A and B are shown apart, each in its own frame.
Chain A
Amino acid sequence: MSRPFVFLLRLALVALVLAFLFVPEAFRPLLEPFAPVGAPAIYDRASLLDLTISHLLIVVAAIVPATLISVALAILVSRPIGAEFLPLSRAIVNIGQTFPPVAVLALAVPVVGFGTWPTLIALFLYGLLPIFENTLAGLTGLQPAVAEAAKGTGMTGRQRLFQVELPLALPVILEGVRISLVIALSTATIGSTVAAKGLGEVIIAGLNSNNLAFVLQGGLLTGALAVILYDGLGEISRMTAARS
């Protein structure tokens, strides 16, 4: 596929999502056949735009601190001072990733109750792992010759970190953020089962009332958002990778 074609495809997808969010009524004829007779074809208990915004806000509110903390932790264990924690932290990340996101979400409910909080906590905890793992891979995977050269030019540890190691690890770190964001977007959808405000509630309302029109619009919307996010971040990390 040629580049301009891919670009147009992306643009069309974004335009379609925006159109659906701002004038959902225009899509009623398409969805009507899937709704049971007499039931609404467009989700009517909340505005789709509000739900989308709140969905994205939860994701951002969880992933921003998760990124900061996991990058900081990865830097720490890759320095001599935290080296003792390196094997353990690898094991914890390995074990932690066997915990299903749904289980993390469900287990957070008994601790903090229903609503946005358990979702936020689950997204945050689950978001830590891929970013930590990738940051660590980026920092420790530096070419020995480059690390040696940085030392040889007389850079201090801090200078090496900020001028050489982090910039070179950036594409890998961004890839971790991308993975975390996609998982978070997906887990936030499940968050609706614990009463977090988000697009999952459209799908779940559809499943509960046998309204396939709801299921489809919720599913297509979250699917499209995930694809746009994944694709967009991929483009950004490709740009940084090309530079370094």
Chain B
Amino acid sequence: MIPRPDKLGAPMGALLAVALALPLASYRANRIALAEARGLFEALPAVWAAALLACAVATIAVALFVRPPAIRLAVPALTLLLLLIAIGVAARMLMANGADYARVAPGTGFWLAGFALSILITDAIVRLKPGPFLRLGVFALAAAAIAAILVTGEWNALSILAEYRGHAATFWREGAHHLQLAFGSLAAAIAAGVPIGILIHRSERLKGPVLSTLSLIQTIPSIALFGMLIVPLSWVAANVPGASEIGIRGIGMAPAFVALFLYSLLPMVANTAAGLSGVSPSVTEAAAGMGLTSRQRLISVELPLALPVILTGVRIVLVQNIGLTTIAALIGGGGFGTFVFQGLGQTATDLILLGALPTVALAFAAAVVLDAVIDVLPGAKA
């Protein structure tokens, strides 16, 4: 008797089957020429194509009929790894036959298969109910696998890496700018947001006005805020002695930094206040009754207990800032957005990806790591 197929396995298996029939790679005679599709067996040596096909079929079977989550994780993960290596092999093979300016990029089949496999892997991980350390371990393993593929040059023939080689120097510089902006504004937001959060926790009268002002700031579209800050900052640069010497200018990093800082305040302030008001009244009562001074209560009882909620605010801010920093490129603030908007301007997909993929990866990494840290904190268990 054939068991009832898995509810999620069925659509994802079907998606994977469709992906196999779609073009694995796309070939362009030069950087902006029209793409031509290359199917699985056109793009790969027969052995590779057969191996990939076999793995995919195995994955579909596992997705449909196998229950243990460990197997549901291992088989799609291996298939995904093979797919990632195979796309590099395909690129080398197609480039060997092509012109010097030719570009090979992953095709719809690759992206669709990658999507279906990622969903299956996510589902298996969720079913395993992993603790924080296991989650970090899985993440580190995946990051290491991708790093290994990059370092060994497996993907060198792919168009996005061709694009990277064209921008290698600026890539790392913009990357550094991106992190400086995202983390710098986060640090400033923590330094200002936590004290403001403590203040509004203690003063009910201030709470409403402060929080609604900060939510209004969050509401303003990012480009608008980034752009409008040029006006006051130009004025400061021109009129405040010393301001331009420390790097304050109308365009560039300064307005980007201020905009990111302003956006970050709401999550920091609101979460600090929420964390503090979540501390059980009997605990604060006991702390006062034991004779802790108000400063001792704050530092050794209230803040440690509010820490998980405050860190959740940090996670929100960091993920949000890594994404929003992309916009900074529009006002000359640098960051990975530079490539995204240049790519959009030149209709160059690879350049867009060169900016967008690292941004997504950074945001994802920040979320995974901070989620795990929050789970490890002792206060989170209480």
- Direct touching of A and B (C-beta under 8 Å): yes
Question: Which residues from chain A sit less than 8 Å from chain B, CB to CB?
Answer: 1, 34, 84-85, 87-88, 90-92, 94-95, 97-103, 106-107, 109-110, 114, 182, 185-186, 189-190, 193-194, 200, 203-204, 206-207, 212, 215-216, 218-220, 222-223, 226-227, 230
Minimal beta-carbon separation of B382 from chain A (angstroms) = 21
Task: Give Cα A124–Cα B261 distance, bound, in whole angstroms.
Answer: 28
CB distance from B322 to the nearest CB of A (A): 7
Cβ of B216 < 8 Å from any Cβ of A?
A: yes
Q: Which residues of B contact A212 (CB under 8 A)?
A: 230-231, 234
B119: chain A residues at CB < 8 Å are 88, 92
Contact present for A189 and B223 (CB under 8 Å)? yes
Task: Name the contact of B223 in the complex, choosing from A107, A110, A219 (C-beta under 8 A).
Answer: A219
Interface presence of B295 (CB below 8 A): no
Question: In the complex the two chains form, is A190's CB within 8 Å of B223's CB?
Answer: yes
Which residues from chain B contact A186 at a C-beta distance below 8 Å? 220-223
Complex Cα distance, B343 from A215, in Å, reads 23
The answer to whether B163 has its CB under 8 Å from any CB of chain A is no
Verify A107–B122 contact, CB threshold 8 A. no
By the criterion CB–CB under 8 Å, are A101 and B330 in contact? no
| Chain A residues within 8 Å of B355, by CB | 106
Any A CB within 8 A of the CB of B138:
no
Known: A189-B222, A194-B344, A223-B221. A110 touches B352 (CB 8 A): yes
Given contacts A95-B364, A216-B228, A230-B219, 10 further A-B contacts (CB under 8 A): A85-B7, A88-B123, A98-B367, A100-B322, A102-B337, A106-B340, A106-B352, A106-B356, A190-B327, A218-B227
Closest chain A residue to B120, Cβ basis: A88
Q: How many Å lie between the Cα of A215 and that of B78 in the bound state?
A: 50
Is B323 positioned at the interface, with any CB of A under 8 Å from its CB?
yes
Complexed CA–CA distance, A74 and B221 (Å): 28
B231-A216 in contact (CB<8A): yes
Q: Is the CB of B220 within 8 A of A218?
A: no
Closest residue of B by beta carbon distance from A206: B227
Known: A102-B340, A106-B352. A226 touches B222 (CB 8 A): no
Does A226 lie within 8 Å of B220, measured CB to CB?
yes
For residue B240, CB closer than 8 A to chain A, the reply is no
Closest to A100 in B: B323
